[in-house]
Amino acid sequence: MSIEKNGIAISPGFSVGNALLINQAKTVVEKRKIKTNEIVMEVNRFQAAVEESKNEISKMKQNKNNEYKIEHIEILDFNILILEDEILAGEVVDTITKKQINAEWALNKVLTNKSKEFAFVKDLYMQERLADFYYIAERITKNLRGLNENLFEIKSNTILVAHDLSPIDALKYCRNGNVNGIVTDLGGTTSHTAIIARSLGIPTIMSLLNISTSIEPGQRIYVDGYKGRVKWKVNKSEKDELNTLQTKYTSFQKNLFEFSKLSGETKDKKIISIKANIEISSEVKMAQKYGAEGIGMYRTEFLFTSKEQFPSLDEQYEDYKELFKENLFNEVTIRTLDIGGDKIQDYSHLENNPALGLRGIRYSLVNIDIFKTQLNAIFKVIESEKKKIRILLPMISNIDEIDKSLFIIDEVRKNYSIDSNLLSVGVVIETPSAVLLVEEISKKVNFISVGTNDLIQYTLAADRTNETLENIISHYQPSVVRMLNLISDKVPANTYISICGEMANDINCLPLFIAMGVRELSMNYYSIPRIKSAIHDLSFNDCVDTVKHCLNLTSHEEIKNELSQLIRNKMKGYDSIMDYQV
């Protein structure tokens, strides 16, 4: 009988492979002789790993989220003392130097000797302290591995199975392209590792509870990243079933890639530019593969929060330059920093309600140096790459913020020689206040981008992370549809409207956007082929009629029915595609 577990589908796709269990407690000891001229490097590597281990434990100690008891703190202190111990470190360094062997092996030798010494100690309590040494040695070995990445070889068709996978580890393991699936006990859609998995196009499922303790190393596992389902220990008939499913997925994927080549054009030749939202710059490759015609929004938060310090001008410059790598795109949109007090470490003043707090442009206008550094990096890229960048300002709620931002942008821009058609500035319309001011806003900037996720939450006054509000948080809510209608009614003719957020990749919402006359939709790259295929089957007139009707409806179910009815009637291959909605 097969075993099946369901979790959260993080990154779509279907894959079969052998489990590589990342279990920090069971590290394998690599053995390697080193040359005389490698000794210094090997000693340095060992010392760096010890240092890193010490930092990790110190951090655990300082982590305020863990309410450690005094005993726990003492254990951590004890571990730090072992790491600081000159006898231990000294003996390992000695062994590396004299025996000319790698640090992992040397550490293992010293540890074996120590455990022999301790074997004479009859005190049971002292015997148990040996466990601490092993624990410390594991930690050092893990860090040694991180510091010598050449040692790690991942075989093809590997499925990573882990309790929790750090973004850094995810990148490290997936680098050689042999990992074709990731399943973890913890984690959710918005975790950094999820973002990376999607950017690499690796089928991923998270929140599988105790998957890492249920699967044996080398186990053959089936990962369905569309449905968030993992299966293993399958029998013959189930295997056949899964293989059939895989064939189905493969042909579906093939179709998708056919669709990805389409342009976003309706039956009656209205053109909508289909672009990708990305969260790390290296996602441009996947975006292009799935048929994005540009980057509609690069969220820069990951860049800012993945390290302890905000990135410098140069670091940002290098990152933004990545976006134009291999000339995949000629134009990208960079949204300036959209974080609030809740996401900033060491922020002494905790806000009661960060979603309504100092975030987005509000934060940038208070922390002008951070804002200017980001602008400098953007201009530097435009100047050196001669490519077009659209700057997108988040969380605008009044005209004053736009004036101030434009003033700062102009000021910084003076230091660069930039062709005027290589730069445009837009505003994210995501507050009801911005909707009411959209006419004036549109006159001040080059384009507007409707940020549907936040606009929905602010319109309905409902936190979108609050699961108990799931029935309220719906983009089919009459107030949301009317909000969108208000925007298209009030903007001056020929205003360039883009839509970003979850709503943009819901096929059912396409009629709304087509009827509104939007020029651009920006979404997760993997939704692009599906949306393109749907656009091709719709016509402007059909959409206008349906939306007119929707504007008179008063419940979100009715609106959803009305919209999906149109899609169902018009779209070829509707059934096969809706199966894989992710």
Partner 1 sequence: MKKKIRISNRLGLHARASSKLVRLANNFKSDVNISKGELAINAKSILGILSLAASLGVEIEIETKGDDEEFAMREVISLFDSKFGEES
Contacts with partner 1, residue ranges (CB under 8 A): 74-75, 77-78, 81-82, 85-88, 114, 117-118, 121-123, 125-126, 129, 132
DSSP 418: -
Give the Cα separation of 480 and 486 in Å (integer). 10
Packing angle of the helix pair 368-385, 313-322 (nearest 10 deg): 40
Q: Considering beta carbons, is residue 86 or 369 the nearer one to partner 1?
A: 86
Rounded-to-integer distance, Cα 105 and Cα 275, Å: 51
CA 474, CA 480: separation in Å to the nearest integer? 8
Comparing CB distances to partner 1, the nearer of 82 and 297 is 82
**Encoding tokens for residue 306?**
């993945």
Nearest-angstrom CA–CA distance, 389 and 379: 9
DSSP per position, 168-204: HHHHHHHTTS-EEEEEESS--TTSHHHHHHHHHT--E
Token pair, residue 534, equals 């749907």
* Nearest Cα to Cα of residue 226 among 210, 250, 209: 250
> Which of residues 29 and 121 has its CB atom nearest to partner 1 in the complex?
121
Q: In the bound complex, what is the minimum distance in angstroms from residue 376's beta carbon to partner 1? A: 47
The three-class DSSP label of residue 277 is: strand
Closest distance to partner 1 from the beta carbon of 74 (Å): 6
Question: Is 296 within 8 Å of 532 (Cβ atoms)?
Answer: no
Smallest gap from residue 133 Cβ to partner 1 (A): 8
What is the dihedral angle through the alpha carbons of 334, 336, 339, 343, rounded to the nearest 10 degrees? 70
Q: In the complex, what is the shortest distance from the CB of residue 31 to partner 1, in angstroms, rounded to a whole number? A: 24
Closest CB 104 distance from partner 1, rounded Å = 19
Which lies closer to partner 1 via its Cβ, residue 134 or residue 407? 134
Q: Which is nearer to partner 1, 79 or 277 (CB)?
A: 79
Helix axes 556-570, 478-490, angle to 10 degrees: 70
* Nearest distance, CB of residue 288 and partner 1, angstroms: 55
Which two three-digit tokens encode residue 417? 């020689």
Give the C-alpha separation, 76 to 56, whole Å.
Answer: 10
Q: Provide the minimum distance between the beta carbon of 25 and partner 1 in the complex, in angstroms, as a whole number.
A: 20
* Cβ nearer to partner 1, comparing 82 with 429: 82
Closest CB to partner 1 among residues 121, 271: 121
Helix axes 540-550, 478-490, angle to 10 degrees: 120
Q: How far is the CB of 98 from partner 1 (least distance, A)?
A: 19
Q: CB of 93: closest distance to partner 1 in angstroms?
A: 15
- The residue (of 88 and 509) whose beta carbon lies closer to partner 1 is 88
Judged by beta carbon, residue 39 or residue 130, the one nearer partner 1 is 130
